Amino acid sequence: MAAPETPKTPKPTEATETTGTAGTPETPETPETRWQARAEVSGRAAGRPARRRLLALGTLAVLVTAVLLVPLFAQLDQQLVDLRSAGRPPSWAHPFGTDEVGRDVLLRSIYGLRVSLLVGLTAALVSVVIGGLVGLLAGAAGGVVDRLLMRIVDGFNSLPHLLFGIFIVALFAPSATAVVVSVAVTHWTTAARIVRSEVLSLRGRPFVDAAISGGSSRARIVHRHFLPNLAPHLLLATVLMVPHAIWHETALSFLGLGLPAHLASLGNMINDGQRSLLAGDWWSSLFPGLLILLPTLAISALAQHLRDRSNPRHRSELTL
């Protein structure tokens, strides 16, 4: 007697519902579910830049407030020496400790931060003005003028910024003016390239062609059409330039080529504090170094936010 045949298991067809790992049926993916999942990811991704932006704004607000208000209540004598308080660690009386000659590190750091911010902002503005004028002239004139100015930009970019800055500072006596000139001469090329590329893009826009067809002069086109569209890019270039200028000033002062040695500058304080590290006085260099790092990171975060706001496509690529 033949054995009964084992019934074959039917093969699943395309209409058969698939199951997950736990045996529960999976929800089929639809355009609505895909957009919902993307919106959730976008919301989480958008929250992180917002928190970083608030942290950067808060840090910068605290530092700027301290720079503006502390000198009103505590005057710093640059020549004052108190050897009885030399080398004291951080305490309630001196939160950042004292240096090797008894000067309060906190008060000197705030004054040094004020100098660094003023020099950095001034140097950034001068750099953007020089680079903006060169880029505007190159982009608006075109032809031989454009090629000549861009070759000059390439020549400046081929030089090491720090070494070239040291050469420029060596031509002057140590002063804030020498540092501003050094930073401006070595950093204007970035703004020149940004402005030139934007002007070349604007020259092909329909409203510029309409202005040229209507008989507008070149000066009127620059004033009415180029400058308003260049303003956001110039602002972004200025904000991006400030951290570079601060680091440049600090490096020159640390090498003894920036501000005068007796003035409270963050670079000078780090240079003085390195002699105290072997004696265990770590606070003389640590706190001035942190006051260099915090504002530059905060300004860089704000500059990134401005860049994202000025380029919506780039912002959507970051969040989606």
Span 73-99, average pLDDT: 79
Q: Which positions ≥6 away from 11 have C-beta within 8 Å?
A: none
Residue 84 has a pLDDT of: 82
Domain for residue 220, yes or no? yes
Residue 319 has a pLDDT of: 37
Span 75-86, average pLDDT: 74
Domain for residue 83, yes or no? no
Phi/psi region, residue 104 (left: phi>0; alpha: psi -120 to 50; beta: rest), is beta
Residue 79 has a pLDDT of: 66
Q: What is the CATH number of the domain that holds 306?
A: 1.10.3720.10
Q: Say what the pTM is.
A: 0.73
Q: Which of 75-89, 127-141, 306-320 is predicted with the least confidence, judged by mean pLDDT?
A: 306-320
Q: How many residues does the chain have?
A: 320
Rounded CA separation 186/127 (Å): 8
Rounded CA separation 103/110 (Å): 13
Instruction: Between 183 and 73, name the one with better pLDDT.
Output: 183
- For the stretch 124-162, pLDDT in tens is 999 999 999 999 898 888 889 989 999 999 998 888 888
Domain for residue 8, yes or no? no
Residue 173 has a pLDDT of: 80
Domain for residue 304, yes or no? yes
DSSP state of 85: G
Q: Which positions ≥6 away from 83 have C-beta within 8 Å?
A: 101, 102
Domain range enclosing 169: 59-74+91-319
> How does the average pLDDT of the chain come out, rounded?
78
Rounded CA separation 230/202 (Å): 10
Residue 29 has a pLDDT of: 59
- For the stretch 265-295, pLDDT in tens is 888 888 888 877 777 788 888 888 898 888 8
Rounded CA separation 197/238 (Å): 17
Instruction: Between 7 and 265, name the one with better pLDDT.
Output: 265
Domain for residue 164, yes or no? yes
Structural domain tally of the chain? 1
Rounded CA separation 287/294 (Å): 11
**pLDDT class of 105 with cuts at 50, 70, 90:** confident
Domain for residue 236, yes or no? yes
* Letter string b/e over residues 7-39, b meaning 16 or more CB atoms within 10 A of that residue's CB: eeeeeeeeeeeeeeeeeeeeeeeeeeeeeeeee
Mean pLDDT is highest, among 128-132, 222-226, 238-242, 303-307, for 128-132
**pLDDT class of 175 with cuts at 50, 70, 90:** confident
Phi/psi region, residue 113 (left: phi>0; alpha: psi -120 to 50; beta: rest), is alpha
Residue 152 has a pLDDT of: 92
Residue 169 has a pLDDT of: 86
Residue % of the chain over a pLDDT of 70: 80
Instruction: Between 251 and 275, name the one with better pLDDT.
Output: 251
Domain for residue 10, yes or no? no
Please name the amino acid found at residue 198: E
Scanning 142-204, the segments in alpha helix (DSSP H) are: 143-157, 161-170, 176-203
- For the stretch 10-50, pLDDT in tens is 554 444 444 444 454 555 556 566 656 555 555 454 456 67
Span 48-77, average pLDDT: 81
For the chain, how far is it from start to end, CA to CA, in angstroms? 68
Residue 233 has a pLDDT of: 84
**249 has pLDDT over 70:** yes
The angle subtended at Cα 176 by Cα 117 and Cα 71, nearest 5°, is: 50
Domain for residue 46, yes or no? no
Residue 10 has a pLDDT of: 52
Q: Which positions ≥6 away from 24 have C-beta within 8 Å?
A: none
